[in-house]
Amino acid sequence: MSKNTVSDRFRKVDVDEYDENKFVDEEDGGENQLGPDEAEVDSLIRSGNLMGALQAVLKNPPINTKNQNVKERAEGLVLKVLSSFKTSDIEKAVQSLDKTGVDLLMKYIYRGFEKPSDNSSAILLQWHEKALSAGGVGSIVRVLTARKTV
């Protein structure tokens, strides 16, 4: 009763940091992952080969790297490719991807939702609908459970 209970700073201490048995993710060498090739993707977009641009931008995903810049650059590039598609072509593009491609696309879509800009959410929602019919709710579960993501 006579203790000083005014300060509540102790509530903001992150107890898990001091746990000696804390789970630490395995370190995978991610230094070499640079994300999709910007020049290649740009040239494919300009030449109108959007399917090719989609395949190219989904190569080399920066999953293991801790460098946030690389991840942001990759996300921006993916968004550029997704926005340049016509609505009617989206379904065909998603069909051309294999299972891992659809999972990766879902990861990028959710990353894109995190930082919405002008029209991005609407475009991403259209892509989300088509990717969902291809990958099912399982692909969304994999976005949520992945510890190393784009």
Partner 1 sequence: MSYHSFLLEPISCHAWNKDRTQIALCPNNHEVHIYKKDGNNWNKIHVLKEHNGQVTGIDWAPESNRIVTCGTDRNAYVWTLKGDVWKPTLVILRINRAARCVKWSPKENKFAVGSGSRLISVCYFEQDNDWWVCKHIKKPIRSTILCLDWHPNNVLLAAGSCDFKCRIFSAYIKEVEEKPAPTPWGSKMPFGEVMFESTGTAGWVHGVCFSDSGNRVAWASHDSTVAVAEGGKTAVCTSLTSETLPLLCVTFITENSLVAAGHDCYPVLFVYDSNKAALSFGGKLDIPKQSAQKGMSARERFQNLDKKATTDTKEAVLESVHKNSISQISILNGGKAQCAKFCTTGMDGGMTIWDVKTLESAMKDLKIV
Which span (42-50, 60-68, 109-117, 140-148) binds partner 1, by CB under 8 A?
Answer: 140-148
Q: According to the binding rule CB under 8 A, does residue 76 interact with partner 1?
A: no
Binding mask 6-25 for partner 1 (x = CB under 8 A): ---------------x-x--
Q: According to the binding rule CB under 8 A, does residue 138 interact with partner 1?
A: yes
- 3-state DSSP call for residue 117? coil
Subset of residues 22 to 41 that bind partner 1, contact rule: CB under 8 A = 23
Minimum distance from residue 20 beta carbon to partner 1 (Å): 12
Which span (38-46, 57-65, 118-126, 130-138) binds partner 1, by CB under 8 A?
Answer: 130-138
Q: Residue 103 carries which DSSP code?
A: H
Q: According to the binding rule CB under 8 A, does residue 139 interact with partner 1?
A: yes
Number of other CB atoms surrounding residue 142 within 10 Å: 17
Minimum distance from residue 138 beta carbon to partner 1 (Å): 4
* Spatial contact of 107 and 149, defined as CB atoms under 8 Å apart: yes
Complex with partner 1: residue 73 or 142, whichever CB lies closer: 142
* Cα 147 off chain centre by: 12
Which structure tokens are listed for 106?
């879902």
Q: Which of 46, 66, 92, 99 binds partner 1 (CB under 8 A)?
A: 99
Q: According to the binding rule CB under 8 A, does residue 121 interact with partner 1?
A: no
Q: Residue 147 carries which DSSP code?
A: S
Which residues lie near partner 1 (CB under 8 A)?
Answer: 21, 23, 99, 103, 135-139, 141-142, 145-147
